[in-house]
Amino acid sequence: AAGVIQSPRHLIKEKRETATLKCYPIPRHDTVYWYQQGPGQDPQFLISFYEKMQSDKGSIPDRFSAQQFSDYHSELNMSSLELGDSALYFCASSPWTDGDTQYFGPGTRLTVL
């Protein structure tokens, strides 16, 4: 069965650069969630989208923005990167009929030098 796909798997950037992370949900899932997991920390919810509209917002910095496209994939755009942005970024998807079950992708590891 198809799973959540995240791209790239690993990204290394320098301070003040920008990064774009992509998430392709499971087919027929219309809700996407973004999480940030720092070293040794629990995942922190950033933002979610339902039917291409922002549905909930968590601890997402102003330097970050995200959107969901017509094919339901989502992109997380990160600007003016800081060392503290180094983390694992997980994307999860769920169908509208079962919002309590989130299917997580493999994550993108971002390293900011």
From residue 42, alpha-carbon distances to 36, 71, 73, 85, 113 in Å are: 8, 30, 24, 15, 22
Q: Which is nearer to another protein, 12 or 56 (CB)?
A: 12
Smallest separation (angstroms) from another protein to the CB of 67 = 18
Instruction: Find the part of the chain contacting another protein (CB under 8 A) among 1-9, 29-37, 70-78, 84-92.
Output: 1-9
Site for another protein in 15-34 (CB under 8 A): 17, 19
Q: What angle do CA 63, 10, 74 make, to 5 degrees?
A: 55
Instruction: Find the part of the chain contacting another protein (CB under 8 A) among 2-10, 33-41, 52-60, 64-72.
Output: 2-10
Strand partners, 24: 5
Near another protein by CB under 8 A: residue from 3, 10, 28, 38: 10
Near another protein by CB under 8 A: residue from 9, 39, 71, 100: 9
Residue type, 13: K
What CA–CA distance (Å, rounded) separates 76 from 83? Answer: 17
